[in-house]
Amino acid sequence: MPSLSADDRGIILPCPACGTANRIAYPRLGQQSENTGRCGTCKEPLPQVAAPVEIDSAGAFSNLIAQSPLPVVIDFWAPWCGPCQMMAPEFAKAAAQAAGEAVFVKVNTDEQQQIARQFNVQGIPAFALMKSGRKAAETSGFQPAARLLAWMRSA
Ligand SMILES: [Zn+2]
**9-18 pLDDT tens trace:** 999 999 999 9
Cα 46 to ligand 1 centroid, rounded to whole Å: 8
- Per the annotation, the verdict on 81 as an active-site residue is yes
Does residue 51 carry a pLDDT above 70? yes
Domain residue ranges of the chain, discontinuous segments joined by +: 48-154
Does residue 155 carry a pLDDT above 70? yes
Query: What pLDDT is stored for residue 31 in this prediction?
Result: 81
Which residues are CB-neighbours of 154 under 8 A, at least 6 positions away? none
- Catalytic residue from among 15, 18, 42, 81: 81
Cα 112 to ligand 1 centroid, rounded to whole Å: 32
pTM for the predicted model, two decimal places: 0.95
Cα 29 to ligand 1 centroid, rounded to whole Å: 18
Compute how many other C-beta atoms are within 10 angstroms of the C-beta atom of residue 153: 12
- Per the annotation, the verdict on 18 as an active-site residue is no
Query: What pLDDT is stored for residue 2 in this prediction?
Result: 75
Domain 48-154 has CATH 3.40.30.10: yes
Q: Which residues pair with 6 in a beta bridge?
A: 11
pLDDT tier, 1 (very low <50, low <70, confident <90, very high otherwise): low
